[in-house]
Amino acid sequence: MISSGSAVGIVMGVLVLTFPVIGVWVIFRELKFGLAAEAMGQELETAGEWPIFQLVLRPSGRPTKESADDNFVEFAKQAEANSENWKAIFALSLAYDACGDRPRARRAMAEAMALHKKK
C-alpha cells in the first residue's frame, strides 16, 4: 500500500503499520499498571494493612451506593490527612472504585504508585 503512490494508499499503509505498535504500547502500559497495583496490594496484605470496608452488598456483589459513599467519606478524610502516605491514597482508590468512579480510582492509584516509588 505504501508503495502504491496514491495518498490514500500511503496513509492506509502507514496506519496498518502504526496501529499494532500503538496497541502493543497500550497493552504494555496497562499490564505494567496492573502489576504495580497488584504488588502494592500484596505488600499491604502481607503487612496486614489491607483497608477494611464496611459495605452492604447487592445480590450482584457490588456495594450499595449508600454504603460505598459512607466508606468513601472515611477514606477520603484519611487520605486528606495523610496525603503523602501511599497506603491512604491506595485505600482512597479502592473507595472510589467501590463508588463506581473508575477514572478517579485510576488517578488515585497512579498517585499511590508515585508515592510508593518515592518511599
Entry pTM: 0.83
- Residues 92 and 71: beta-carbon distance below 8 Å: no
In order of 10, 53, 96, the CA distances from 72 in angstroms are 52, 9, 7
Query: Virtual CA dihedral for 70, 55, 95, 97, nearest 10 degrees?
Result: -120
Q: Is the pLDDT of residue 109 over 90?
A: yes
For the segment 42-91, what is each residue's pLDDT rounded down to a tens digit?
A: 999 999 999 999 899 999 988 999 999 999 999 999 999 999 999 999 99
CA 81 from chain center: how many Å?
22
Q: Report the distance separating Cα 6 and Cα 64, nearest Å.
A: 57
